[in-house]
């Protein structure tokens, strides 16, 4: 709609007596297509004009002349509504979609500038849980969206491969570690040790001191501690890589927290020199009370460093290495204070780019009412979730084929994979990210409703129409055949895709793209569910016109789903 908002705002501005930008920002969409495509509300003018909004609307509508794609301007109650010329709009938008092809919707906002995206970043020796799914899926979508908008995204996996949990693992390893077992069971075994440690410590609190000493030994370079750490790291990475493989995700930079160990003294020295450090119960802190950010712990009493200290170093490293214009951290909302502290300390260290750092938080993911928790070991590994979803998708395909008496698709495995993974990913990305996600297998995999499979199915259905159509799709059609209100609404939704991408990047919000795709699919389904409205018919001119429209829908869905990290099967 964006490309048609501007002309309407320009036409209105003189009569409204507000700057064009302000008028444009106020424009909305009427509730029904019969009421026009754009609406300017007059409420806010009532005060200065000392008139009722409907009277203002009537006055403005009387003054403004329709031009170009704007066919008519009408006062409707307190609104001034614009009717767009469906033929002109379709003639403008659909050839652009066809010509754009896979590039339709892409933007040149970034001009090649770098944006780092810290995402996924699971912790070594803890299973890759469903709670890491959110960061992985949201971050991956943001990387793709940034790329589509002309930025140079740098996907960073900041592996949690350092910290006191390794002390805990090593402490437990001394009690019952078994390399043969580790070899056999991988990360699951490590997780078990971690859970056992927590249980043992509840009985024997002194174990915490052993763990602390173990981590200190690791930091000090103790050979056996380092050897085991490297082993745990490798076993964990192998498992993470399997999950990334299933999701089709790669990273540009996979550096663990351990990488920053050597940079710690420099960070602490600078903080010291700047007079930012103080002591608190033996530990070293940056006092941020005056900013209402508590105290930021940077070194423990035993000298070991912390998550925050390593993040201060990694922030600088990223600036030096990538020269980002934005630096995103896709991490759960529970770490807000951590990132606020990090930004504040960088500000106090006079790094002007602290302002380019953005925490991109998100809500929890729950299976109905069960909250995932690593500490209790009550955790559903992501790999299992994906495998189960793929298996269910496969069952659905097989059942569908049996019911219809059709042969099984030759690419059954590939198809089940795309549908299963797409279902999990879209379920995560369809709502505003700060909201909690409830995971419900039946709903996630449903072919109707706001789901990944529904969008994939809509695109695949159009692909099979294109195959039946058999002729190349051309923009040389009679656009007057596409000027119904349903068609116009759909064409405008297609025109909105680039704007959804732009706003999605600005807000770090993939769901804005999801919304745009759901809108497109639902407007298409509304047309398509009408028995009178067929894409393919004996009327060649009508078929060509509708085919161009349907093709645009498929193209927009494929492009947008691609940005979200969802592959579209050729047929379903
Ligand atoms: N490993 C951390 C966790 O699982 C997330 C790390 C996020 N990235 C960062 N630079 N702090 O909670």
For 106-116, the pLDDT digits (tens) are 999 999 999 99
Is 90 within 8 Å of 487 (Cβ atoms)? Answer: yes
Is 539 within 8 Å of 385 (Cβ atoms)? Answer: no
CA distance 558 to 268: 49
Is the distance from the beta carbon of residue 318 to the nearest atom of ligand 1 less than 6 Å? Answer: no
Is 564 within 8 Å of 513 (Cβ atoms)? Answer: yes
Predicted confidence at residue 468, as pLDDT, reads 95
Predicted confidence at residue 368, as pLDDT, reads 62
Predicted confidence at residue 373, as pLDDT, reads 43
- For 2-84, give the CATH class: alpha beta
Q: Which of 281, 272, 432, 458 is nearest to 362 (CA)?
A: 432
Name the DSSP class of 246.
H
384-389-395 Cα angle (round to 5): 125
pLDDT above 70 covers a percentage of the chain that reads 97
Q: Which residues contact 476 (CB under 8 A, 6 or more apart)?
A: 544
| Mean pLDDT within 133-148 | 97
Q: Which pairing describes strands 437-439 and 365-367: parallel, antiparallel, or unpaired?
A: parallel
Q: What tokens were used for 183?
A: 């070899």
Is the distance from the beta carbon of residue 121 to the nearest atom of ligand 1 less than 6 Å? Answer: yes
CA distance 297 to 287: 9
Average pLDDT over the chain reads 93
For 307-341, the pLDDT digits (tens) are 999 999 999 999 999 999 999 999 999 999 999 99
Q: Is 438 helix (H, G, I), strand (E, B) or coil?
A: strand
For 19-73, the pLDDT digits (tens) are 999 999 999 999 988 899 999 999 999 989 999 999 999 999 999 999 889 999 9
Residue 538, pLDDT > 90, answer yes
pLDDT band at 379 (very low <50, low <70, confident <90, very high): low
Atom of ligand 1 nearest to the CA of 123: 1
For 380-413, the pLDDT digits (tens) are 677 888 898 999 999 999 999 999 999 999 999 9
| Mean pLDDT within 191-208 | 92
Atom of ligand 1 nearest to the CA of 307: 11
pLDDT band at 441 (very low <50, low <70, confident <90, very high): confident
Domain ranges (residues) in the chain? 2-84, 119-367, 391-563
Predicted confidence at residue 131, as pLDDT, reads 72
CA distance 217 to 127: 24
The Cα diameter of the chain in Å comes to 86
User: How far is residue 11 CA from its own chain's centroid?
Assistant: 36
| Mean pLDDT within 171-182 | 94
Distance 121 CA to ligand 1 centre (A): 5
- Tell whether pTM > 0.75: yes
For 493-518, the pLDDT digits (tens) are 999 999 999 999 999 999 999 999 99
Name the DSSP class of 123.
B
| Mean pLDDT within 443-458 | 91
Give the 3-state secondary structure of 94-150: HHHHHHHHHHCCCCCCCCCCEEEEECCCCECCCCCEHHHHHHHHHHHHHHHHHHHCC
Q: Which of 430, 419, 413, 427 is nearest to 457 (CA)?
A: 419
CA nearest ligand 1 atom 6, residue: 121
Is the distance from the beta carbon of residue 331 to the nearest atom of ligand 1 less than 6 Å? Answer: yes
Probe ligand 1: pick from 116, 121, 123, 166, max atoms within 8 Å of CB?
121
pLDDT band at 305 (very low <50, low <70, confident <90, very high): confident
CA nearest ligand 1 atom 5, residue: 121
Residue 255, pLDDT > 50, answer yes
Q: In terms of CATH architecture, what is 119-367?
A: 3-Layer(aba) Sandwich (3.40)
CA nearest ligand 1 atom 3, residue: 122
Is the distance from the beta carbon of residue 329 to the nearest atom of ligand 1 less than 6 Å? Answer: yes
CA nearest ligand 1 atom 4, residue: 122
Q: What tokens were used for 216?
A: 């200190």
Predicted confidence at residue 366, as pLDDT, reads 81
Give how far Cα 439 sits from Cα of 60, 131, 216, 374, 425, Å: 50, 11, 40, 18, 11
More confident residue, 481 or 445: 481
Q: Which residue has the tokens 């793929």?
A: 390
Residue 458, CA atoms < 13 Å, CB-side half-sphere: 31
Query: Homologous superfamily of 391-563 in CATH?
Result: Isoleucyl-tRNA Synthetase; Domain 1 (1.10.730.10)
Distance 153 CA to ligand 1 centre (A): 19
119-367 against 391-563: fold identical: no
Residue 103, pLDDT > 80, answer yes
Element (DSSP H or E) covering residue 370: strand 370-371
Q: Which of 409, 449, 459, 405 is nearest to 427 (CA)?
A: 449
CA nearest ligand 1 atom 1, residue: 160
Distance 158 CA to ligand 1 centre (A): 6
For 200-230, the pLDDT digits (tens) are 999 999 999 999 999 989 988 999 999 999 9
Q: Is 405 helix (H, G, I), strand (E, B) or coil?
A: coil
């Amino acid at each position: 709609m964006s490309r048609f908002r501007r002309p309407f705002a320009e036409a209105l501005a003189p009569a409204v007596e507000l700057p064009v930008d302000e008028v444009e920002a106020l424009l909305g969409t009427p509730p029904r297509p019969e009421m026009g495509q754009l609406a300017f509300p007059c409420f806010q003018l009532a005060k200065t004009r000392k008139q009722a909004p409907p009277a203002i609307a009537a006055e403005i509508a009387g003054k403004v002349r329709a031009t170009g794609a704007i066919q008519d301007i009408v006062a409707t109650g307190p609104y001034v509504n614009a009717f767009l010329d469906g033929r002109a709009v379709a003639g403008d938008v659909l050839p652009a979609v066809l010509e754009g092809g896979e590039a339709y919707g892409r933007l040149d906002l970034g001009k090649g500038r770098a944006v780092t995206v810290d995402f996924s970043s699971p912790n070594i020796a803890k299973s890759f849980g469903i709670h890491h799914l959110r960061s992985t899926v949201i971050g991956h979508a943001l990387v793709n969206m940034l790329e589509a908008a002309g930025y140079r995204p740098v996907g960073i996996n900041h592996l949690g491969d350092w910290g006191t949990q390794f002390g805990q693992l090593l402490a437990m390893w001394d009690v019952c570690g078994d390399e043969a077992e580790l070899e056999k069971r991988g990360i699951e075994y490590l997780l078990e040790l971690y859970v056992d440690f927590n249980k043992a410590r509840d009985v024997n609190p002194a174990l915490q001191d052993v763990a602390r000493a173990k981590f200190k030994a690791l930091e000090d370079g103790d050979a056996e501690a380092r050897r085991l750490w490297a082993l745990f790291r490798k076993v964990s990475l192998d498992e993470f890589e399997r999950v990334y493989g299933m999701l089709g995700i790669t990273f540009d930079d996979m550096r663990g927290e351990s990488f920053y160990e050597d940079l710690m003294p420099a960070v602490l020295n600078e903080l010291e020199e700047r007079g930012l450090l103080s002591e608190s119960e033996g530990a070293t802190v940056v006092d941020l009370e005056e900013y209402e950010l508590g105290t930021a712990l940077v070194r423990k009493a035993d000298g070991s460093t912390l998550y925050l200290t390593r993040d201060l170093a990694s922030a600088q490293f990223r600036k030096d290495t990538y020269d980002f214009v934005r630096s995103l951290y896709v991490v759960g909302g529970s770490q807000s204070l951590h990132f606020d502290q990090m930004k504040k300390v960088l500000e106090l260290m006079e790094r002007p780019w602290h302002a380019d750092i953005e925490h991109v938080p998100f809500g929890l993911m729950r299976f109905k009412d069960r909250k995932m928790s690593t500490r209790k070991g009550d955790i559903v590994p992501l790999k299992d979730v994906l495998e189960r979803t793929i298996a269910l998708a496969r069952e659905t395909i097989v059942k569908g084929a049996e019911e219809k008496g059709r042969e099984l698709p030759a690419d059954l495995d590939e198809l089940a994979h795309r549908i299963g993974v797409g279902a999990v990913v879209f379920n995560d990305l369809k709502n505003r990210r700060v909201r909690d996600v409830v995971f419900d297998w039946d709903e996630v995999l449903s072919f109707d409703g706001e789901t990944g499979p529904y969008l994939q199915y809509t695109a695949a259905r159009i692909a099979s129409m294109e195959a039946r159509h058999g002729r190349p799709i051309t923009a040389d059609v009679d656009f007057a055949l596409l000027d119904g209100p349903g068609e116009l609404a759909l064409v405008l939704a297609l025109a909105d895709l680039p704007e959804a991408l732009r706003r999605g990047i600005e807000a770090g919000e993939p769901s804005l793209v999801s919304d745009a795709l759901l809108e497109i699919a639902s407007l298409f389904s509304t047309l398509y569910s009408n028995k009178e409205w067929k894409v393919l018919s004996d009327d060649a001119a009508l078929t060509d016109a509708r085919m161009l429209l349907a093709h645009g829908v498929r193209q927009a869905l494929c492009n947008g789903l691609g940005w979200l990290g969802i592959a579209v099967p050729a047929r379903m």
